[in-house]
Amino acid sequence: MKDHIAALKKRFKELYPSAGTPRFFAGPGRINVIGGHTDYNLGFVLPCAVDREILVAASVRQDEVLSFYSVDLKESFEVKLGSLKFSEKMKWANYLMGVFSVLLEDGFRLKGMNIAFGGNIPQGGGMSSSAALEVAVCTAVRAMQDLKLNDIELVKYCQKAENKFVGVMCGIMDQFASAMSKKGHLLFLDCADLSFELIPMKFTDISFFIADTKKERTLAGSEYNLRRQQCTQAAEIFRKLDPKVRGLRDVSIEEFETNKDKVPLPARKRAEHVIYEIDRVKKAAQALKRNDLEAIGVIQRESFRSMRDTFEISCPEINAMAEISDSVNGVYGTRIIGGGFGGCTISIVKNSSIKELEGKLLREYPKKTGLTPEFWVVNSADGAREVF
């Protein structure tokens, strides 16, 4: 971290020689142990921030200019606060502009800022670098422009920035986990009312293993939106049976099994996954409190099968990755992380088994797919914060 801050500080001074000493803010990436596609159905999730993050260096200007620099892309972007609009050319800048846009829209009076940022969250690694950037930037704006925002309000503005300005209809889990996590804990989050519990992880010899299939997620955006529509369709049918149903989280397993024939395919299958997945998240939270990793692993594997067969967001590459990973002793469970149709898997693995897992994937996965995987080992971390 100190080396990263020093390098970013040096680059910031080269970019903005008259801006003075910047302040630094970190926004971590996140993983989700269980709870695939439950967040936008008002269900439960079990994520945490991880030790890969976006680091932001920032200073306040005395005019209305926003000056952004991406260290990793080596690209600059400048715009006035009164002229914020979506950029097709510099799409990375939309995540920063979105934060300022939604704050201005709600009446906050803002000054311009200089912001340089870089990070070590893998692109396409399913750890939500976009949410990490939004949360880091919003944390910087709140601190440096003295905005009266509590943490939950900050999370909501970051989600709104991605929904309204960037145009990605994500749930709230990514921003919430990036902002609210605590090292050594998982977040048991109710996405309906944003109540949450930080549950300690009592194990010390376990890591989260992210494996990138290198399968491009060409269908992920369109299919994600389609899955949301199908879930909404199912929820509306259940709402006609019970007006108290806000979303699929309000449909019990018993109610689903009794009335599922009233829901046409494929919406019925999507609802089945979500309703049973919400139950799996609750069971995983209880297993975590018992420090029962075997039970969590079983739940993860059930979740993967449901995402593959019922929610239908897997692909041959992910199937191969999960099959190989779960065959290694010391791997408790593997599931899809992110939107599916490629991308990454997440495994809970004993530290002593990591090298064996990497070796087996490097030997067997290319034979099955013709692709060479990439791996990252991550652990839980604190949420967004100022760093010194």
Q: Which residues are known catalytic residues?
A: 174
**Phi/psi at 292 (5° precision):** -100, 85
What value, to the nearest 5°, has the Cα angle with vertex 210 and ends 205 and 212? 155
Evaluated on CA atoms 277, 279, 282, 287, the torsion sign reads negative
Fill in the amino acid letter for 326: D
**Which helix (H) or strand (E) segment is 64 a member of?**
none
- What are the residues whose beta carbons fall under 8 Å from the beta carbon of 313, sequence distance 6 or more? 36, 37, 223, 227, 307, 336, 339, 340, 341
Determine the Cα–Cα distance for residues 18 and 15; give it in Å rounded to an integer. 9
Determine the Cα–Cα distance for residues 98 and 115; give it in Å rounded to an integer. 14
Residue 217 in tokens: 């997620």
Determine the Cα–Cα distance for residues 64 and 112; give it in Å rounded to an integer. 4
Q: For strand 196-200 and strand 185-190, is the pairing parallel, antiparallel, or unpaired?
A: antiparallel
- What are the residues whose beta carbons fall under 8 Å from the beta carbon of 224, sequence distance 6 or more? 339
- DSSP-derived secondary structure letter, 166: I
DSSP helix/strand/coil, 25: strand
Determine the Cα–Cα distance for residues 208 and 29; give it in Å rounded to an integer. 13
Residue 359 in tokens: 């070796």
Q: What is the secondary structure of 325-375 as a DSSP string?
A: HHTSTTEEEEEEESS-SSSEEEEEEEGGGHHHHHHHHHHHHHHHHS---EE
Determine the Cα–Cα distance for residues 126 and 244; give it in Å rounded to an integer. 34
- DSSP-derived secondary structure letter, 380: B
Residue 164 in tokens: 């309204």
